[in-house]
Amino acid sequence: MSKTKKALLIAALAALSAPVQAQTAGPLAPAEGIVIRTEGEVRVKPDLATIQAGIVSEGKTAAEALAKNTPALAKLVEAVKAAGIAAGDVRTSQVALVPRMTQPSASSSPQPRAPKIDGYEARTGLTVIVRDIAKAGPLIDALATAGANEMSGIMFGLANEDTAKDAARQKAAEAARARASLYADKLGVKVGELVSIVEAEAEPPIRPMGDVRAYRMAAAGAPMAVEPGEITVSAALRTVWRIEK
């Protein structure tokens, strides 16, 4: 064995036989201590509504279905504009062309017969944001009168959620210390300093939907009454507190 290899072998054996240095305990990890997750909620009245309406048209060919659909959708857009809705609050949300299939009648042939296309269905939809909820009901009526034959719902929301969100955060923060103290008291320890604050993912806010669902709408009937109710806005907080004995 050469002198160089012998020196390397001795160095390796010395490293392996050396005592392992104990690691000193570091600062309190974020997951240690009293870990609390709290959630705050506030209920507020919505100040805007989102309406989805559309046109479903049929034809023997794709071109025929689309030819019927395009002018019908234009009438809906005109009705939305006439209601005073800003152009930026109207967008096309659905464009679909679907073949209509029919199953062949049963036959004595051992070979299965494939379904056939006997027409097409064209669908286009509009999503409209209404910033004055009082206009939501009349707009639904106007859309139905203009030819809308599909309505997928109305959802209520807030133009600016920040104020409500901050109120929910404040409730979550107030609950955090109180809950940590409750656990500590029952377990015979004391709550120490706050170690960590993390804004957690809250449950999705509850958005009440008006019951205007109808696959094919009729343009007649009583005026649509819209009741917005209230919206729940949530905020969640994860805090970690040191334990003092």
Task: Please name the residues in contact with 207: beta carbons below 8 A apart, sequence gap of 6 or more.
Answer: 155, 156, 157, 231
User: Is 8 within a domain?
Assistant: no
User: Is 235 within a domain?
Assistant: no
User: Is 6 within a domain?
Assistant: no
Predicted pLDDT of residue 212? 45
Average pLDDT of every residue of the chain: 81
Distance from C-alpha of 75 to C-alpha of 97, rounded to nearest angstrom: 20
Distance from C-alpha of 69 to C-alpha of 67, rounded to nearest angstrom: 6
Distance from C-alpha of 164 to C-alpha of 173, rounded to nearest angstrom: 14
User: Is 84 within a domain?
Assistant: yes
235-245: pLDDT as tens digits: 999 999 999 87
Mean pLDDT of the region 50-59 = 94
Is 161 in a helix, a strand, or coil? coil
User: Is 134 within a domain?
Assistant: yes
Q: Cβ(23)–Cβ(221) under 8 Å? A: no
Q: What are phi and psi of 68, to 5 degrees?
A: -75, -35
Global pTM exceeds 0.85: no
Percent of the chain residues past pLDDT 90, beyond the cut: 63
Predicted pLDDT of residue 214? 45
Say if residue 203's pLDDT is above 70.
no
Residue with the larger pLDDT of the pair 18 and 81: 81
160-190: pLDDT as tens digits: 999 999 999 999 999 999 999 999 999 999 9
88-147: pLDDT as tens digits: 999 998 899 999 888 776 665 666 677 888 899 999 999 999 999 999 999 999 999 999
**C-alpha to C-alpha distances, 32 to 28, 80, 181, 199, 201, nearest whole angstrom:** 6, 57, 16, 17, 20
CATH number at residue 149: 3.30.70.2970
Per DSSP (E only), the strands in the chain are 34-44, 48-59, 90-102, 116-130, 150-157, 190-200, 209-210, 231-244
Say if residue 11's pLDDT is above 50.
no
When divided into structural domains, the chain yields a total of: 1
Q: Enter the DSSP assignment of 47.
A: -
For residue 142, the enclosing domain spans 48-101+116-159+207-229
User: Is 23 within a domain?
Assistant: no
